[in-house]
Structure 1
């Protein structure tokens, strides 16, 4: 089979990649593809094959298996998304001991207050960009408070974080990495000097396993870096994508307003139908691997198309229909296997509270017909729009 040129799909692919994924899937669940810059890799678009790939230890997350050292490693360190067992097992055990369900549930009252404060600020104008006024400030405030980051530094974090998930160029990436690295080193040192506190970063500094193991300075920096980025960028798009999906499917919005018990279904169906993560991060073949009938040699890059997997009709009947009553069990929006998203419970909690408050406070919420056309986030990683103009 020939290599698929993704660049030939044009801007339509960024705005709505799902028809293209469907056409690829009809030809097979795994394809060799090439980006416009010439970078070549293997793309998985079938649900069964993608789920298997996400849990296959032959597909490493550390690029060191193909002899590559990522640019952030010297500045930030090795974080969970770029680590494999046994290193990943050790790091995840130390962080999950602090990032507990109890800690997440304890955030509920604060999240509820924040959503109402944001709604209070929005209400008088009658219209807003939902991303800037609501979907961004909620998760960035929550994750920064959780980690103990001062409020005055959050806009800087937003700029750095956005550059790393939707990069504008190599110079911007380098500046963001250096900014993060230097800031987090200072923050960790300040917290060491200040002594025990209730925030998660202080907990990670103090955390010790039964055998006395603890996170080193570079490991703390890398963990804080990952939690800050993954802890808000994905949730911004979870909130805005869910609202966008409901506003563009008014019969589903009406059903939710009539039956608030459908709230969880709305969140889960939005995660499946048009979730915040379009593809996972790269995996690398340690050895020759057969996947979906294709022979992938050792040393190759593999990308699992999360959005494509969750529109596979073999797993979800009529997958292009947005239905908040659907049985969404088996969706892979948070991944699968040892790299299943650590922050999934927090993202779900924020999404549910954010949506409930928005619907309660703005009963006539609608897309703003005078708003600018949607500008979709570029690249394959994140799925969402830069702004979502709404009115009430």
Structure 2
């Protein structure tokens, strides 16, 4: 790949979407920073390699605060002051510090750990329904991997059950739009719904997380503003199900492709915690980070990223870097995969990572225990993938038992 040239990822087609790792490895061998044309045809800069990605995540010149510092239309089809984006993932310190502190006061390890019995109950109910099918076939995404985390995060936040199908549509457009128009509608409809929900929770608080966020204040009396409540709800709802959904989907695909590893895990669930971390490293649910904005010229690896550029940090490649993980393209549930970047790095490290891990452990163990003959029911090459460079996962995963 010639120095200074634009790498056309869009032109690589479906082969790149299915398996981007060889392309990223070739880029990494040439250097840590590359100008590319992404899958939407936009020019962005990619950062690859473990050390470079860690450095980029902690570089204050690579900003997430597009609402103040950049043109929002570069990354999403909505207004600059959109309340759906008034959250900590779209902010830098000191705003990020303040927002994360307020949310972390309620999104506690105790609250997450207390969800385990309910996660198990929802898991069992979903598998009861799936395994009752006479045809002994199902789409694991639609039947299990999606409704489990969506039910959990909606119940945690206090979103009424009847509205969850609408949330799936809005979330899909926000993370992998089908068209600019559909994306714009999602950014109009979801905040409007949440504004009504926040008003209802303010008047009639419950035991849910959203009610707690509305009424919590820190020692100085600071609390989340109305727009920030909407933005935080959007972030928690989307991140709270997309990560676990694709952890389950990608994790099961990896086990199906490595039957000896699957057999080892079935025989010894003491390997489960390590298996979850290896699933996250080997083929994690987030391919590249949400868009960063270069506030100034940034030099990395002898390449200058110009101020005003959009930058993507490719966590999927960081976790396949042989300088950090030996034989990185080998799936090994006994590997020490700690230090992977599936949940990001630095101040934007995913606040919901403990919830995703808890859901993943319960979901995969129960699935393997209750479905001893579970097997894929479609060729890997025939699977349809989520579009774009943000979410890594399949839209459907046909299985049989």
Query: Is the CA contact (8 Å cut-off) linking 2:83 and 2:231 kept in structure 1?
Result: no
| 1:40 alignment partner, one of 40, 43, 56 | 43
1:247 to 256, 261, 264: 256
Instruction: Give the Cα separation in 1 of the matches to 2:69 and 2:90.
Output: 13
Match of 1:145 among 139, 149, 155: 155
Corresponding residue of 1:85: 93
Compute the displacement of 1:13 (Å): 0.3
Change in Cα spacing, 1:387 to 1:5, as seen in structure 2 (3 Å) is same
1:310 to 309, 319, 324: 319
1:282–1:301 CA contact under 8 A, matched in 2 = yes
User: Aligned to 1:317, what secondary structure does the other structure show?
Assistant: coil
- The 2-side partners of 1:304 and 1:370 are apart by 30
Compute the TM-score of the two structures, normalised by the length of structure 1.
0.97
Deviation at 1:76, TM superposition (A): 2.2
Q: CA deviation at 1:74?
A: 2.5
Gaps of 5+ in 2: none
- Alignment partner of 1:76 out of 58, 77, 84: 84
- 1:115 equivalent in structure 2: 123
Q: Secondary structure at the match of 1:232?
A: helix
User: Do 1:80 and 1:88's aligned partners in 2 also have CA atoms closer than 8 Å?
Assistant: yes
Give the Cα separation in 2 of the matches to 1:11 and 1:221. 36
Q: How does 1:206-285 map to 2 (within 5 A)?
A: 206-285=215-294
Deviations 1:86-124 (A, max 9, x none): 001000000000000000000000000111111110112
Change (3 A) 1:318 1:226: same
- Greater mean alpha carbon deviation, residues 197-206 or residues 368-377: 368-377
1:22 corresponds to 2:21: no
Q: Is the 8 A contact 2:194 2:230 kept in 1?
A: yes
Which residue is 1:373 aligned to? 382
Query: Is the Cα contact below 8 Å between 1:30 and 1:46 reproduced in 2?
Result: no
Contact 2:10/2:41 (8 A) holds in 1: no
The number of equivalent residue pairs is 391
Alignment counterpart, residue 168 of structure 2, candidates 147, 158, 161: 158
Residue in structure 2 matched with residue 130 of structure 1 by the alignment: 140
Contact 2:261–2:332 under 8 Å retained in 1: yes
| Matches of 2:398 and 2:380, distance apart in 1 | 5
Deviations 1:107-146 (A, max 9, x none): 0000001111111101122221000000000000000000
Moved more, 271-280 or 362-371: 362-371
Is 1:50 the equivalent of 2:60?
A: no
Secondary structure in 2 matching 1:212 = coil
Q: Write out the 4+ residue segments of structure 1 that deviate beyond 4 Å after TM superposition.
A: 369-372
Correspondent of 1:360 among 350, 354, 369 = 369
2:213 to 204, 208, 232: 204
For 2:399 and 2:313, how far apart are their aligned partners in 1?
33
Q: 1:343 is matched with which residue? A: 352
Superposed CA RMSD in Å reads 1.5
CA distance in 2, matches of 1:370, 1:294: 41
CA offset at residue 293 of structure 1? Answer: 2.5
CA distance in 2, matches of 1:359, 1:388: 16
Q: Distance in 1 between matches of 2:10 and 2:332?
A: 31
Whether contact under 8 Å (2:63, 2:292) holds in the other structure is yes
Range with bigger deviation, 184-193 or 59-68: 59-68
Task: State the distance in 1 between where 2:108 and 2:215 align.
Answer: 15
Deviations 1:171-215 (A, max 9, x none): 1011111111110000000011113x2100000001101000011
Cα distance in 2, alignment partners of residues 130 and 36 from structure 1: 27
SS at structure 2 position matched to 1:50: helix
Contact 2:123 2:148 in 1 (8 A): yes
- Could you say which residue in structure 1 is the equivalent of 2:340? 331
Among 63, 66, 77, the residue aligned to 1:63: 66
Residue 321, structure 1, aligned to residue 330, structure 2: yes
1:313-371 CA deviation, whole Å, 9 max, x = no partner?
11111111000011101100000010000100000000000001101101111112589
Query: Are 1:54 and 1:336, in contact at CA under 8 Å, matched by a contact in 2?
Result: yes
CA contact (8 A) 1:234 1:276 kept: yes
Within the candidate set 104, 111, 122, 1:103 is matched to 111
Distance 1:255 1:389 in 2: 23
2:180 is aligned, of 170, 188, 197, to: 170
Q: Residues 39 and 388 of structure 2 are in contact (CA less than 8 Å); yes or no, is this contact kept in structure 1?
A: no
